[in-house]
Structure 1
């Protein structure tokens, strides 16, 4: 496998699928990533001097609420964690990010990831009542004495920052393991995770591993697990988590 060729191919595809339109003082940017309605994610950006201003114009939160999603105290806490992870602010249901113009690529990437993560909270209204997938994983780790760091960030070969939900430190017998929680396993979320991992790997130890927790409460798309395994990533179905303790423990 020529992994660099695949990464370059993905980057070229991503570049060709992003489009923009001038709307007043803003540029509307359309991405190839899907939200909870299977519509392409879009947001707006403008430049004021040396500063960029990204906004979703309130679409993400309003879209969630239109599905009947309600922000319980626990979901509000999780929303805050997601926003802090990507440096995004919430003002009157509008998600915004301010950044120096010189950081456009990194901040556009971070803002896109944030919108995807917030939109993905829709799945909690279908599969959970008062909990969130990350909470379940944290409880599972605590129950099984799996000690880790939460919400870690690494810079990839491209210069983009990539966030991981957990990092399990290497031990005498096991390598470093980075973990991602994927609440809505789809080709889009799989591609996003693989791009982040392949971009991150060169900056980590050669034996570092990626583990993805897949919420299979509503099923998993065809080929998702095989796709991860073909890149030497370890997918764990949430319903089978207890069968995979050996991957997680020291």
Structure 2
């Protein structure tokens, strides 16, 4: 068992690693981030200067191309594409279906905030749509939403919370609090071994706690495969309540309260 201080240090080091910028041609800058994808490769963005103080931040199609290499073609399913667009909209991120590009437009002044939103959207898409063949007709975030609806849990979708650094942190669901009952902010994880996404969730939580102290944090995890103990320890270190989806019924009273 890792200590809380060790786990927190690991997340903070991960989050604070330098982002490297390098010019690759006129008007195009490559941005190497410390965030890793499912292959343990660094997530790379590109900043394309568009004039009038405007910049397009783009993944140049990497995330969706990578999913397609595993047989997951989001654009071929109206349902999945609709869910993807809805979720990307919560991050203010757009999609170009012609070339699979995820992108966000920004000014120079808002560049750090918009870069963070694009990274969050890429991590979310990488995790949420990494589907096995047996789950290709179902999307985990939809299953979670159906669970809330079937138990009349008063959930709202997709709040964005501004942290102390001015960065925006997106949550998949929220349940409002009242008086001595805290607000509940909820993230979902489709891949139970995705340590890098878990670290991103944890850092979002650390940042949000500073501005929303009367809040409880939850991570609902697809546990078709066993949940990595490192992830459970990491969430536990920041009092993030990890809910295995197979045991969701055990948490209905807690969430509905």
Is this a same-fold pair by TM over 0.5?
Answer: yes
User: 2:158 corresponds to which residue?
Assistant: 151
Q: Is the 8 A contact 1:127 1:218 kept in 2?
A: no
Residue 176 of structure 2, aligned match among 150, 169, 179: 169
Deviation at 1:46, TM superposition (A): 2.9
CA change 1:212–1:131 in 2 (3 A) is: same
User: 1:45 corresponds to which residue?
Assistant: 47
CA displacement, residues 202-245 of structure 1 (integer Å, 9 cap, x when unaligned): 222x3310011011112222221122112111110111111122
Inter-partner Cα distance in structure 2 for 1:181 and 1:245: 16
Inter-partner Cα distance in structure 1 for 2:87 and 2:214: 28
Higher relative contact order (CA 8 A, sep 6+): 2
Q: Is the 8 A contact 2:21 2:32 kept in 1?
A: yes
Q: Is the 8 A contact 2:173 2:187 kept in 1?
A: yes
CA displacement, residues 109-161 of structure 1 (integer Å, 9 cap, x when unaligned): 01111111122234224451312111101111111110111111110111001
Give the TM-score normalised by structure 1. 0.90
1:109-124 aligned at under 5 Å gives the runs 109-124=116-131
Q: Is the 8 A contact 1:215 1:238 kept in 2?
A: yes
User: 1:108 corresponds to which residue?
Assistant: 115
Residue 201 of structure 2, aligned match among 169, 172, 193: 193
Give the TM-score normalised by structure 2. 0.87
Q: Is the 8 A contact 2:18 2:34 kept in 1?
A: yes
Residue 230 of structure 2, aligned match among 223, 229, 233: 223
Inter-partner Cα distance in structure 2 for 1:40 and 1:2: 26
Deviation at 1:12, TM superposition (A): 5.5
Inter-partner Cα distance in structure 2 for 1:58 and 1:164: 24
CA RMSD of aligned residues (A): 2.2
Inter-partner Cα distance in structure 2 for 1:211 and 1:42: 29
Q: Is the 8 A contact 1:215 1:237 kept in 2?
A: yes
Deviation at 1:10, TM superposition (A): 4.9
Q: Which runs of 5+ in 1 are unaligned?
A: none
Q: Which stretch of structure 1 is more off in the superposition, 110-119 or 172-181?
A: 172-181
What SS does the aligned partner of 2:158 have? strand
Inter-partner Cα distance in structure 2 for 1:10 and 1:228: 11
2:250 matches 1:240: no
Report how many residues are paired. 246
Inter-partner Cα distance in structure 2 for 1:121 and 1:172: 34
Inter-partner Cα distance in structure 2 for 1:2 and 1:214: 21
Q: Is the 8 A contact 1:155 1:200 kept in 2?
A: yes
Q: Which runs of 5+ in 2 are unaligned?
A: none
What SS does the aligned partner of 2:229 have? coil
